[in-house]
Amino acid sequence: MPRNHASRLGHRQRGQSTIEFVVLALVMVPLLLIVPLIGKYMDIGQAAVVASRYVAFEGSVRHSSSHGGWKSDAELAQEVQRRFFSNSDAFIKTNDKAGDFTAHRNTLWHDHRGKSLLTKFDENVGVTTTKDSLTQPGALFAGNFNLSYANLYSGKVTVKIADIAGLKPFDAVGLSVSRSTTLLADPWAASGPAAVQSKIKGSGAAFPYAYLEAWATLLAPGISALEFGNPPPDVGRVDPDIVPPDRLGP
């Protein structure tokens, strides 16, 4: 093969290799950027799942009969932002709030330029709760005892992820992740013995306490005489903290 022809062939091959490299780079570089980004999106989605479970289970301990009552959406959102969407080593503290600065951010949730995917916690992470009524079998006298029917408690966590500038189509996708958990919370609990007494004595037809008490007062002398001085039945006595003697230790 003539030397000049071989030289031209070598230049042509090197030019072709350069073109192939450029074309391959145009395909691979965005792919290398997108794959980790999708993994971060999935991680944020998993955090939203766990956070929604936390919000729902709060309904099992902070219901309408508890001392504190239901937590507001704003309270739950603040707790979720700090405990689930902030830095992973954050301490669990009462009234702690996530700040929009590096020390409180998850170090993995950022784009290829180092910008956080959750730019502002208050705007990017929100909580919505709903309480629905679910009538249970055998709840015929629930209204008489002033028991709440709001026992179907749902917690929804919505995360708005920031767009990635300069990376199409993620520069204007407006991605939002929502996860919801529904729990059958039982608000038919009392905050103490006084609450139990109040509900029973004020139950009306379900337990006619006032009517029975009036008759017991009239019949008490006769019952005491017939029982040889023993006290009459204590009608209307409600003491939920009494434990049967056979359940007590020596």
Give bridge partners of residue 128 from the DSSP assignment.
156
pLDDT per position in the chain (250 positions), as tens? Answer: 555 544 554 555 555 667 766 666 666 666 676 788 889 999 999 999 999 999 998 877 777 666 677 888 999 999 999 999 999 888 888 889 999 999 999 999 998 888 999 999 999 999 999 888 766 555 556 666 767 777 788 999 999 999 988 877 888 889 999 999 998 776 666 777 777 777 777 777 667 777 777 777 777 777 666 666 666 667 666 677 777 778 777 7
Beta bridge partners of 180: 156
Sheet of 125-132, strand order: 125-132, 152-160, 176-184
pLDDT at 222 (0 to 100): 72
Rg of the chain over CA atoms, in angstroms? 34
What is the 8-class DSSP label of residue 191?
S
Q: What is the pLDDT of residue 116?
A: 93
Q: How many CA atoms lie within 13 A of 102 on its CB side?
A: 2
pLDDT of 23: 65
- Tokens read off for 22: 């450029």
Instruction: Report pLDDT for 9.
Output: 46
C-alpha closest to that of 176 among 193, 163, 153, 159: 159
Please give the pLDDT value at position 221: 74
Residue 101, pLDDT score: 92
